[in-house]
Amino acid sequence: RKEVEQDPGPFNVPEGATVAFNCTYSNSASQSFFWYRQDCRKEPKLLMSVYSSGNEDGRFTAQLNRASQYISLLIRDSKLSDSATYLCAVYNDYKLSFGAGTTVTVRA
Amino acid sequence: DADVTQTPRNRITKTGKRIMLECSQTKGHDRMYWYRQDPGLGLRLIYYSFDVKDINKGEISDGYSVSRQAQAKFSLSLESAIPNQTALYFCATAEGGNYGTEAFFGQGTRLTVV
Protein backbone atom coordinates (compact mmCIF):
# COMPACT_ATOMS: atom_id res chain seq x y z
CA ARG A 1 0.00 0.00 0.00
CA LYS A 2 1.32 3.44 -0.86
CA GLU A 3 2.10 5.74 2.04
CA VAL A 4 -0.04 8.51 0.61
CA GLU A 5 -2.94 8.12 -1.82
CA GLN A 6 -5.07 10.71 -3.51
CA ASP A 7 -8.05 10.78 -5.78
CA PRO A 8 -6.41 11.82 -9.05
CA GLY A 9 -9.50 13.55 -10.38
CA PRO A 10 -9.64 15.40 -12.60
CA PHE A 11 -12.19 17.70 -11.05
CA ASN A 12 -13.63 20.02 -13.64
CA VAL A 13 -15.72 22.72 -11.99
CA PRO A 14 -17.25 26.07 -12.99
CA GLU A 15 -16.06 29.30 -11.52
CA GLY A 16 -17.64 29.95 -8.15
CA ALA A 17 -18.15 26.29 -7.35
CA THR A 18 -16.92 24.46 -4.29
CA VAL A 19 -14.64 21.49 -4.78
CA ALA A 20 -13.28 19.13 -2.16
CA PHE A 21 -11.03 16.12 -2.24
CA ASN A 22 -9.22 13.84 0.16
CA CYS A 23 -5.90 12.21 0.71
CA THR A 24 -5.34 9.08 2.80
CA TYR A 25 -2.15 8.06 4.54
CA SER A 26 -1.09 4.65 5.77
CA ASN A 27 1.18 5.41 8.74
CA SER A 28 -0.84 6.23 11.83
CA ALA A 29 2.27 7.72 13.44
CA SER A 30 2.57 10.42 10.77
CA GLN A 31 3.41 13.71 12.35
CA SER A 32 2.73 16.56 9.98
CA PHE A 33 0.52 17.13 6.98
CA PHE A 34 0.58 19.60 4.12
CA TRP A 35 -1.11 20.60 0.90
CA TYR A 36 1.11 21.74 -1.97
CA ARG A 37 0.09 23.28 -5.25
CA GLN A 38 1.84 22.47 -8.52
CA ASP A 39 1.31 24.32 -11.79
CA CYS A 40 2.10 22.72 -15.14
CA ARG A 41 5.01 20.55 -13.95
CA LYS A 42 6.66 23.46 -12.20
CA GLU A 43 8.00 23.08 -8.71
CA PRO A 44 5.46 22.39 -5.96
CA LYS A 45 4.80 25.21 -3.54
CA LEU A 46 3.26 25.04 -0.11
CA LEU A 47 -0.41 25.92 -0.10
CA MET A 48 -1.04 25.29 3.56
CA SER A 49 -0.12 23.15 6.50
CA VAL A 50 -2.86 21.01 8.02
CA TYR A 51 -3.41 21.23 11.75
CA SER A 52 -5.31 18.84 13.98
CA SER A 53 -8.06 21.35 14.60
CA GLY A 54 -8.46 22.13 10.94
CA ASN A 55 -7.46 25.43 9.42
CA GLU A 56 -8.60 27.92 6.90
CA ASP A 57 -6.74 30.29 4.62
CA GLY A 58 -9.09 32.49 2.66
CA ARG A 59 -11.09 30.26 0.35
CA PHE A 60 -9.15 27.16 1.30
CA THR A 61 -9.99 24.89 4.22
CA ALA A 62 -7.93 21.91 5.30
CA GLN A 63 -9.04 19.21 7.69
CA LEU A 64 -7.24 16.33 9.36
CA ASN A 65 -8.98 13.17 10.51
CA ARG A 66 -6.47 11.07 12.43
CA ALA A 67 -8.96 8.33 13.29
CA SER A 68 -9.64 7.61 9.63
CA GLN A 69 -6.19 8.70 8.49
CA TYR A 70 -7.10 11.23 5.88
CA ILE A 71 -6.72 14.91 5.18
CA SER A 72 -8.99 16.99 3.03
CA LEU A 73 -8.88 20.21 1.09
CA LEU A 74 -11.91 22.30 0.25
CA ILE A 75 -11.83 25.21 -2.15
CA ARG A 76 -14.74 27.64 -2.03
CA ASP A 77 -15.73 30.12 -4.71
CA SER A 78 -13.31 28.59 -7.22
CA LYS A 79 -11.33 30.93 -9.45
CA LEU A 80 -9.77 30.22 -12.81
CA SER A 81 -6.42 30.68 -11.13
CA ASP A 82 -7.11 27.74 -8.84
CA SER A 83 -6.58 25.36 -11.78
CA ALA A 84 -3.60 23.27 -10.74
CA THR A 85 -2.56 19.94 -9.33
CA TYR A 86 -2.84 19.69 -5.55
CA LEU A 87 -0.40 17.39 -3.80
CA CYS A 88 -0.84 16.20 -0.27
CA ALA A 89 2.29 15.54 1.74
CA VAL A 90 2.80 13.57 4.92
CA TYR A 91 5.82 13.72 7.17
CA ASN A 92 6.88 10.67 9.17
CA ASP A 93 10.12 8.98 10.12
CA TYR A 94 11.90 12.12 8.90
CA LYS A 95 10.64 11.57 5.35
CA LEU A 96 8.30 13.78 3.44
CA SER A 97 6.07 11.62 1.22
CA PHE A 98 3.72 12.90 -1.45
CA GLY A 99 0.57 11.67 -3.05
CA ALA A 100 0.23 11.52 -6.81
CA GLY A 101 -1.81 14.71 -6.90
CA THR A 102 -5.39 15.75 -7.62
CA THR A 103 -5.95 17.80 -10.76
CA VAL A 104 -8.47 20.62 -10.57
CA THR A 105 -9.61 22.57 -13.60
CA VAL A 106 -11.84 25.58 -13.09
CA ARG A 107 -13.74 26.66 -16.21
CA ALA A 108 -15.27 30.00 -17.00
CA ASP B 1 18.36 34.23 -7.33
CA ALA B 2 16.35 31.17 -6.35
CA ASP B 3 16.82 29.80 -2.84
CA VAL B 4 17.11 26.27 -4.23
CA THR B 5 18.94 25.96 -7.53
CA GLN B 6 19.12 22.90 -9.70
CA THR B 7 21.48 22.39 -12.62
CA PRO B 8 21.06 21.55 -15.38
CA ARG B 9 17.43 22.49 -16.02
CA ASN B 10 17.17 20.20 -19.02
CA ARG B 11 19.36 17.36 -20.13
CA ILE B 12 19.26 14.73 -22.83
CA THR B 13 21.67 11.87 -22.37
CA LYS B 14 22.31 8.48 -23.89
CA THR B 15 21.69 5.11 -22.32
CA GLY B 16 24.67 3.96 -20.29
CA LYS B 17 26.08 7.40 -19.65
CA ARG B 18 26.82 8.70 -16.18
CA ILE B 19 25.09 11.90 -15.32
CA MET B 20 25.04 14.14 -12.26
CA LEU B 21 22.27 16.49 -11.24
CA GLU B 22 23.26 19.21 -8.83
CA CYS B 23 21.34 21.07 -6.18
CA SER B 24 22.45 23.97 -4.07
CA GLN B 25 20.53 26.00 -1.50
CA THR B 26 20.95 29.30 0.28
CA LYS B 27 18.28 28.72 2.93
CA GLY B 28 20.64 27.20 5.46
CA HIS B 29 18.46 24.11 5.82
CA ASP B 30 19.81 20.85 7.13
CA ARG B 31 17.48 18.54 5.28
CA MET B 32 17.70 17.95 1.57
CA TYR B 33 15.69 15.61 -0.64
CA TRP B 34 15.74 14.28 -4.18
CA TYR B 35 12.45 13.30 -5.84
CA ARG B 36 11.47 12.19 -9.28
CA GLN B 37 8.09 12.90 -10.82
CA ASP B 38 6.41 10.81 -13.47
CA PRO B 39 2.94 11.41 -14.88
CA GLY B 40 0.32 9.80 -12.65
CA LEU B 41 2.85 8.76 -10.02
CA GLY B 42 3.45 11.98 -8.21
CA LEU B 43 6.68 12.73 -6.40
CA ARG B 44 8.66 9.71 -5.34
CA LEU B 45 11.51 10.01 -2.88
CA ILE B 46 14.91 8.85 -4.13
CA TYR B 47 17.28 9.89 -1.33
CA TYR B 48 17.27 12.27 1.59
CA SER B 49 19.93 13.72 3.85
CA PHE B 50 19.84 15.36 7.25
CA ASP B 51 23.39 16.61 7.18
CA VAL B 52 26.70 15.97 5.45
CA LYS B 53 27.20 12.69 7.31
CA ASP B 54 23.65 11.38 7.05
CA ILE B 55 22.34 9.91 3.79
CA ASN B 56 19.21 7.78 3.57
CA LYS B 57 17.56 5.80 0.80
CA GLY B 58 14.07 6.66 -0.22
CA GLU B 59 11.50 4.44 -1.89
CA ILE B 60 13.21 4.26 -5.31
CA SER B 61 16.97 4.53 -4.77
CA ASP B 62 18.05 1.70 -7.10
CA GLY B 63 20.11 3.04 -9.97
CA TYR B 64 20.87 6.29 -8.18
CA SER B 65 23.52 7.56 -5.79
CA VAL B 66 23.93 10.84 -3.97
CA SER B 67 26.61 12.98 -2.43
CA ARG B 68 26.18 15.67 0.21
CA GLN B 69 29.29 17.72 -0.39
CA ALA B 70 28.34 20.45 2.06
CA GLN B 71 25.29 21.58 3.94
CA ALA B 72 24.28 23.59 0.91
CA LYS B 73 24.97 21.03 -1.82
CA PHE B 74 23.32 17.70 -2.59
CA SER B 75 24.04 15.92 -5.87
CA LEU B 76 22.21 13.05 -7.50
CA SER B 77 24.03 10.70 -9.86
CA LEU B 78 22.78 8.17 -12.34
CA GLU B 79 25.72 5.82 -12.73
CA SER B 80 24.47 4.25 -15.96
CA ALA B 81 21.38 6.00 -17.24
CA ILE B 82 18.51 3.97 -18.66
CA PRO B 83 15.41 5.17 -20.54
CA ASN B 84 13.01 4.53 -17.64
CA GLN B 85 14.93 7.14 -15.64
CA THR B 86 13.48 9.74 -17.96
CA ALA B 87 11.57 11.99 -15.60
CA LEU B 88 11.34 15.37 -13.94
CA TYR B 89 13.68 15.53 -10.95
CA PHE B 90 13.21 17.88 -8.01
CA CYS B 91 15.50 18.77 -5.18
CA ALA B 92 13.94 20.10 -1.98
CA THR B 93 15.14 21.47 1.35
CA ALA B 94 13.56 21.78 4.77
CA GLU B 95 14.52 22.82 8.26
CA GLY B 96 15.42 20.18 10.82
CA GLY B 97 13.37 19.23 13.85
CA ASN B 98 11.12 16.40 14.93
CA TYR B 99 8.14 17.64 12.99
CA GLY B 100 8.14 18.33 9.31
CA THR B 101 8.25 21.86 8.11
CA GLU B 102 7.66 23.47 4.75
CA ALA B 103 9.78 22.03 1.97
CA PHE B 104 11.19 24.38 -0.65
CA PHE B 105 11.75 23.01 -4.12
CA GLY B 106 14.15 23.78 -6.90
CA GLN B 107 12.75 24.45 -10.35
CA GLY B 108 13.37 20.90 -11.46
CA THR B 109 15.60 19.11 -13.96
CA ARG B 110 13.94 17.55 -16.96
CA LEU B 111 16.02 14.51 -17.85
CA THR B 112 15.58 12.47 -21.00
CA VAL B 113 17.51 9.26 -21.51
CA VAL B 114 17.55 8.07 -25.12
pLDDT in tens, B19-43: 999 999 999 999 999 999 998 888 9
- Of B10, B13, B2, nearest to B92 by C-alpha is B2
Report the Cα–Cα distance between both ends of chain B, in Å, rounded: 32
pLDDT at B98: 63
| pLDDT greater than 80 at residue A69 | yes
- Of B75, B80, B38, B36, nearest to B58 by C-alpha is B36
The chain A residue lying nearest B91, using CA atoms, is A43
The percentage of residues in chain B with a pLDDT greater than 90, rounded to a whole number, is: 82
Interface of A with B in 9-48 (CB under 8 A): 31-32, 34, 41-46
Which residue, among A43, A57, A64, would best test binding to B if mutated, counting the most B CBs under 10 Å from its CB?
Answer: A43
Mean pLDDT of chain B: 93
Q: A91: distance to nearest CA of chain B, Å?
A: 6
CB contacts, 8 Å: A52 with chain B? none
pLDDT at B99: 67
Instruction: Find out whether the peptide bond into B8 is cis, omega within 30 degrees of 0.
Output: yes
- Is the minimum CB–CB distance between A98 and chain B shorter than 8 Å? yes
Q: pLDDT of A74-103, one tens digit each?
A: 999 999 999 999 999 998 877 889 999 999
pLDDT at B41: 82
Contacts of A36 (CB under 8 A, 6+ apart): A44, A45, A46, A47, A86, A87, A88, A89, A98
* Burial B22-61, CB ≥16 within 10 A → b, else e: bbbbeeebbbbbbbbbeeeebbbbbbbbeeeeebeebeeb
Distance (Å, whole) CA B20 – CA B103 = 22
The chain A residue lying nearest B102, using CA atoms, is A46
Task: Report, as an integer, the average pLDDT of A55-61.
Answer: 95
Partner residue opposite A91 with nearest CB, options B99, B105, B108: B99
Instruction: Report yes or no: B15 and B113 within 8 Å, Cβ to Cβ.
Output: yes
pLDDT at A92: 82
